[in-house]
Copies of this chain bind each other. A is one copy, B any other.
Amino acid sequence: MAIKGLWSIGVDLGGTKVEMARVDGEGKIDQRMVLPTDVRGGPSTVKAQIIAAIRDIENKTDSRPVGVGIGVAGQIDAQQGVVRFAPNLGWHDVSLQSDLSQAVALPVVITNDVRAATWGEWIHGAGKGSQDLVCLFVGTGIGGGVVSGGQMLSGCSNTAGELGHITINLNGLPCHCGNKGCLEACAGGWAIARRAQEAIRLNPVAGVHMLNMVDGQHEAVNAKIVAQSSREGDPLAQSILDEVFQALLAGTVSIVNAFNPCRLILGGGVIEGLPELIYRIARGIHQLALEAASGPLQVLPAQLHNDAGVIGAASLAMQLFTSENK
């Protein structure tokens, strides 16, 4: 239950930008700011950016927030409040939670950015009210979060839900992670770009439609171009996206059989650019997954889009720090 008037601050910390928002107990954003992340300045500069922004948000209100939630693109030790490794920030073992908490005199919780987005969809988005759900975010990379029996899964070292790195084709192409045939290496935005660029290189005639869209710069072909080209009837782009669909179907069938969620929530840039995928995936899962597992399943689009991270981080703080105060 949201307590009227209470609010928290959500932060989505990535290698390019820091998004921050004041979020109320219903998950509504009242005030937001976006800063370019000062990666070069290092952890202390980025912390100072966040601290200044929190003060700025506070100064515009007469009530204090119940706390701050921060989603970070990286591997998080939530217990210790430490960012173990954040490749886009170039951070290793950065103590974030206690430093920020001391500076702003507020309770702070940190989590992984995909986990934060899953909290957002669970508490205020397409997962509202469900006890068993999986979020799969298909963007440049692919990440996920799992709620099972009303509990967000974290796993042994807080990395549960790395659903982009389930193998769907053990003979498949290399993945950035060092393995091959991962779901992400077949259906992530970077993999779609790789696949399209390779196809155009092999057959520039077939690739002429996409090439024209990027003025012949074939390294500029990305997932967005493939999607647009496919909508315009280009057979090569369509065949690439059909492979992407088959990959996503194999991955989501695995997820449904392994986790048996009540809801599978699909989000991220690739899904938002190809919303028709959601219906096709839903139909495919009901054909191919175990009947007992898929029977009660709903496949739904994510609702919070780019705000899932800040809303989720803020909601996590709200949940954690209002229940502690009880």
Contact surface of A with B, Cβ cutoff 8 Å: 75, 84-85, 132, 146, 148-149, 151, 153-163, 165-171, 177-179, 181, 246-247, 250-251, 253-255, 257-262, 288-290, 292-293, 295-297
Beta-carbon contact of B148 and A297 below 8 Å: no
Beta-carbon contact of B260 and A160 below 8 Å: yes
Task: Give the nearest-CB partner of A164 in chain B.
Answer: B257
Beta-carbon contact of B257 and A292 below 8 Å: no
CA distance A260 to B163 in the complex (A): 11
Taking the closest CB of chain B, its distance from the CB of A10, in whole angstroms, is 24
Closest 5 CB pairs of A and B: A155-B260, A156-B262, A166-B254, A170-B250, A160-B260
Decide: A162 near B258, CB < 8 A? Known: A157-B293, A292-B157, A296-B157: yes
Which residues from B are CB-within-8-Å of A257? 159, 162-163, 165-166
Taking the closest CB of chain B, its distance from the CB of A85, in whole angstroms, is 7
Beyond A153-B259, A161-B260, A169-B169, 7 additional contacts (C-beta under 8 Å) are: A75-B292, A148-B160, A156-B260, A157-B296, A158-B260, A160-B259, A160-B260
Which residues from B are CB-within-8-Å of A158? 260
Taking the closest CB of chain B, its distance from the CB of A310, in whole angstroms, is 24
Ordered by A's residue number, 27 sampled pairs between the chains whose C-beta atoms are within 8 Å are A84-B292, A85-B292, A132-B156, A148-B153, A148-B154, A148-B155, A148-B160, A151-B151, A153-B259, A156-B296, A156-B297, A157-B260, A157-B295, A162-B258, A165-B254, A165-B289, A165-B290, A166-B166, A166-B257, A166-B258, A167-B253, A168-B169, A168-B170, A169-B171, A170-B247, A177-B290, A179-B288
Task: Give the nearest-CB partner of A260 in chain B.
Answer: B155
CA distance A296 to B155 in the complex (A): 11
Taking the closest CB of chain B, its distance from the CB of A245, in whole angstroms, is 11
Task: Give the nearest-CB partner of A252 in chain B.
Answer: B167
Which residues from B are CB-within-8-Å of A181? 250
Which residues from B are CB-within-8-Å of A260? 154-162
Name, among A157, A166, A167, the residue most crowded by chain B CB atoms within 10 Å (CB to CB).
A167
Which residues from B are CB-within-8-Å of A178? 288
Beta-carbon contact of B261 and A156 below 8 Å: yes
Which residues from B are CB-within-8-Å of A151? 148-149, 151
Beta-carbon contact of B290 and A167 below 8 Å: no
CA distance A234 to B132 in the complex (A): 48
Beta-carbon contact of B170 and A261 below 8 Å: no
Beta-carbon contact of B293 and A162 below 8 Å: yes
Task: Give the nearest-CB partner of A246 in chain B.
Answer: B170
CA distance A254 to B163 in the complex (A): 8
CA distance A162 to B259 in the complex (A): 8
Task: Give the nearest-CB partner of A144 in chain B.
Answer: B258
